[in-house]
Structure 1
Amino acid sequence: MADRDPGTLRAIEEVHADEMADARTKTKRKQLFGALAAGIALIGGGYTAYDVLSASKHAVTDNAYVGADVAQVTSQVSAPVAAVLVQDAQRVRRGDVLVRLDDTDARIAVARAEADLQRAIRRVQGLMATDNGLGAQISARDADIMRAEAEVTAARASFDKARIDLDRRKALVTSGAVSGDELTTVRNAYDNAAANLRAAQAARAQAAAARNVAVGDRDANRAMIANTTVDTNPEVLAARAALDQARVDLERTVIKAPVDGVVSRRQVQVGQRVQPGATLMLVVPVQAAYVDANFKEVELAKVRPGQPVKLTSDLYGEDVVYHGKVVGFSGGTGAAFALVPAQNATGNWIKVVQRLPVRIKLDPKELDAHPLRVGLSMNVDVQLAK
């Protein structure tokens, strides 16, 4: 070592130092890789433990919104608005008066319908009374026919006698036993008897026709009242139905709240003439609100109706927790009910994870303590474990 020059020694020392540095670097690298592997293993184990102990027992989403079966308040008659008794955001109870319409025309219609009903009742009563009179007319026509028959019989007897007298006189004319004047008198008597017979026969036919007319009038009258009373006659029933409709239309001039809730989107003003079916306002039943949570389809494998749910709203924060239950699933995804559905049958198809609305019923007592409004955002946590 003493024979080596100082430069060689320094080179050897530098090489040895580099080797030591490389060894330390490799050792440190191994330690880092070991720490990284341990960290990954720890994270994987933690995620696995979280998934087994917690995540697999929950289905969570913040894509959820408050909904309610909103009641539309519409007019069912055409009339001017006389008074509007509520404002937007006002709470109302079922049966509270919301709008009053001018009922002048409706009251007149009721009075007219009442008069029509009384007229129909009197008409039916008249038809029933007429039936007896028409029966009497038929009896009178029968008597007329009998009298006409008797007159025909008498006229035929007179005609037969006149014909016999004429035949006898004709036989005696050639012998001179009967004068021409007498023959003329007998011939005239024959002609009068024949005319009387034809007149009697015509009177009999007229009496029979009059009876047929009376029978037809009676049958027509009876058809109007057959198997009915005054109250059950179709004409009276139709008039009574028209009166009921007029009274209903009068009642409809007072528009009432169909459900308990909050008035929203009031669109009616005093003096406005509303038409049937026109929406005047909405009544939102906030006390019966629900939540539609839009879960990804891959998150719904273990979600079942009846499972408990915890919810928080952005309105009240995490301090207010709502409790509910899964009611069921929508019949289709949002894309399926879109106005322009996706054309997945085309060649340019890209798979997109769909979301399916899940209906959640809320606790009415919690809703009463902390009211929600339609459209508010909610955070949903479905408890999958039992």
Structure 2
Amino acid sequence: MPDTAQATDKVQSSAPKPVANAAGDANRKRLLTYLGIAVVIGAVAYSAYYGLVASHYVSTDNAYVGTDTAQVNALVSGPVATIVVSETQVVKAGDVLLTIDDADAKIAVAQAKAALALAQRHVQGYYASDEALAGQVGASQAEVARATAMIASAQSGLDNAKTELTRRQNLAQSGAVSQEELTTAQNAYTQAQAVYNTAVANHASAVAGVQAAGGQRATNAAQFTGASADQNPEVLAAQAKLDAANLALERTVVRAPTDGIVARKAVQVGQQVAVGTPLMTVVPTARAYVDANFKEGQLKKVVPGQTVELHSDLYGKSVTYHGTVRGISGGTGSAFSLIPAQNASGNWIKVVQRLPVRIDLDPKELVAHPLRVGLSMDAEIDTRK
């Protein structure tokens, strides 16, 4: 009897199970149907989102802050006298960074000033010499006039002597003139001829004197003609040397070429520096940009001028930077590496290449949230435009 009772209980307890299983199957089918509908809706929604929105954006976290740093070099040689800045210090364009001993530069300026004053006096001497040479030319011309008059006088005397000699020679044939008178007339003619020759030689000498004085004056005038005393080539050359000396003196004070942060200071007080020695670097963080390395398959629609949203790991998602695509690099990073990949070696495995995209940042946002060179960034480009 007990066994019969137990069997009856089992039959009674198991009788409702087919109904419960049927209800569970119906619930599962309903849930699977809802899940399928949800998956389909999600797929459609994602497809619509990708087609309408996501497909127009490309993003990468392989992006880094960069800037065109300003290298500060020594423009004159000498020992470093003072250094007034330190690394990480913020400076403005024109701020003094350091000074180089200026003793030699001051001496060079003094020498250049003396050379300029000497050149100015030389030029003034050219004007004074011109006046003196003008007087010499006038005196030589007067000497020519005097010599011309002497030739005329000598010519007259010669003509008279010749006439007297001819008359006496005619009279001597008839015996009317003694031999002594004829000899005297001949001597007078010879003397008159000598006086005439002397006058002609003096005239030639006077003409040569005029030419010599004129040549000297022309040579002297060439030193200053065509320009004022201040614009004379000698004065300008001396002035240029003075300007160069003043510039060298000015360059003993090394100033910041741009606004930025001092970095890589490589100089100490007392160090002897030569022209071109690197002293330090000024990083203009206000003109920072971002080089974002996108995969080659992402760049089909990327063109200069498109807008970019960026986030820095320094500030997180709470700060959004807005930028503009400046351009795309002319080659991949591997193409410009020190040892480019040799894909023709036979052991070739395709690697997706990345191209740097230069992105300009909003200067106002950089002022509000400064960045540093080398910081990591996330960049997303809107390719709809």
TM over 0.5: yes
Amino acid in the other structure paired with 1:355: R
Cα shift readout 1:289-323 (whole Å, capped 9, x = no counterpart):
1111111232123334444433233344x344331
Distance 1:334 1:112 in 2: 56
Distance 1:355 1:142 in 2: 91
Distance 2:246 2:200 in 1: 61
SS in 2 for 1:262: strand
Amino acid in the other structure paired with 1:111: A
| Equivalent position of 1:28 in the other structure | none
SS in 2 for 1:326: strand
> Does the aligned pair in 1 maintain the 2:324–2:361 contact within 8 Å?
no
Superposition TM-score, scaled by structure 2 size: 0.78
- Compute the displacement of 1:70 (Å): 0.5
Distance 1:40 1:235 in 2: 92
SS in 1 for 2:88: coil
- Superposed, which structure 2 residues align to 1:94-173 within 5 Å? 94-173=93-172
Distance 1:267 1:237 in 2: 39
> Does the aligned pair in 1 maintain the 2:308–2:325 contact within 8 Å?
no
SS in 1 for 2:222: helix
| Equivalent position of 1:12 in the other structure | none
- Compute the displacement of 1:360 (Å): 2.1
Distance 2:328 2:79 in 1: 42
- Compute the displacement of 1:155 (Å): 1.4
Distance 1:197 1:282 in 2: 90
Structure-2 change in CA distance of 1:356 and 1:101 (3 Å): same
- Do structure 1's residue 251 and structure 2's residue 247 form an aligned pair? no
SS in 2 for 1:224: coil
Q: Which residue of the other structure, out of 310, 332, 338, is the alignment partner of 2:336?
A: 338
Structure-2 change in CA distance of 1:184 and 1:368 (3 Å): same
| Equivalent position of 2:77 in the other structure | 78
Amino acid in the other structure paired with 2:377: M
Distance 2:349 2:289 in 1: 33
Amino acid in the other structure paired with 1:153: A
- Do structure 1's residue 273 and structure 2's residue 272 form an aligned pair? yes
SS in 1 for 2:223: helix
Distance 1:92 1:118 in 2: 41
- Compute the displacement of 1:149 (Å): 0.6
- Superposed, which structure 2 residues align to 1:160-239 within 5 Å? 160-173=159-172, 177-239=176-238
Deviates more, 1:348-357 or 1:335-344: 335-344
Amino acid in the other structure paired with 1:252: R
Cα shift readout 1:39-79 (whole Å, capped 9, x = no counterpart):
99799667635633653243111111110110111222223
- Compute the displacement of 1:268 (Å): 2.0
Structure-2 change in CA distance of 1:345 and 1:319 (3 Å): closer
Superposition TM-score, scaled by structure 1 size: 0.78
> Does the aligned pair in 1 maintain the 2:335–2:341 contact within 8 Å?
no
> Identity, % of aligned pairs?
49
Amino acid in the other structure paired with 1:338: F
Distance 2:351 2:324 in 1: 25
> Does the aligned pair in 2 maintain the 1:326–1:358 contact within 8 Å?
no
SS in 1 for 2:62: strand
Amino acid in the other structure paired with 1:372: L
- Compute the displacement of 1:161 (Å): 2.6
> Does the aligned pair in 2 maintain the 1:75–1:276 contact within 8 Å?
yes
| Equivalent position of 2:25 in the other structure | none
> Does the aligned pair in 2 maintain the 1:103–1:253 contact within 8 Å?
yes
- Do structure 1's residue 303 and structure 2's residue 295 form an aligned pair? no
Amino acid in the other structure paired with 2:209: A
| Equivalent position of 2:378 in the other structure | 379
Cα shift readout 1:78-126 (whole Å, capped 9, x = no counterpart):
2332222222222212111111111122212222222222222233233
Cα shift readout 1:150-191 (whole Å, capped 9, x = no counterpart):
111111222223333334444455655555544444333333
Structure-2 change in CA distance of 1:167 and 1:100 (3 Å): same
Amino acid in the other structure paired with 2:192: A
> Does the aligned pair in 2 maintain the 1:110–1:243 contact within 8 Å?
yes
> Does the aligned pair in 2 maintain the 1:322–1:363 contact within 8 Å?
no
The unaligned stretches of length 5 or more in structure 2 are 1-28
Deviates more, 1:299-308 or 1:61-70: 299-308
Distance 2:139 2:118 in 1: 31
| Equivalent position of 1:25 in the other structure | none
| Equivalent position of 2:319 in the other structure | 321
Deviates more, 1:255-264 or 1:301-310: 301-310
| Root mean square deviation of aligned Cα | 3.5
> Does the aligned pair in 2 maintain the 1:81–1:274 contact within 8 Å?
yes
Cα shift readout 1:223-258 (whole Å, capped 9, x = no counterpart):
333343222333323322322222222111111001
The unaligned stretches of length 5 or more in structure 1 are 1-30
Distance 1:252 1:81 in 2: 12
Amino acid in the other structure paired with 2:323: K
Deviates more, 1:244-253 or 1:112-121: 112-121
Amino acid in the other structure paired with 1:323: Y
Structure-2 change in CA distance of 1:322 and 1:40 (3 Å): closer
Distance 1:163 1:345 in 2: 117
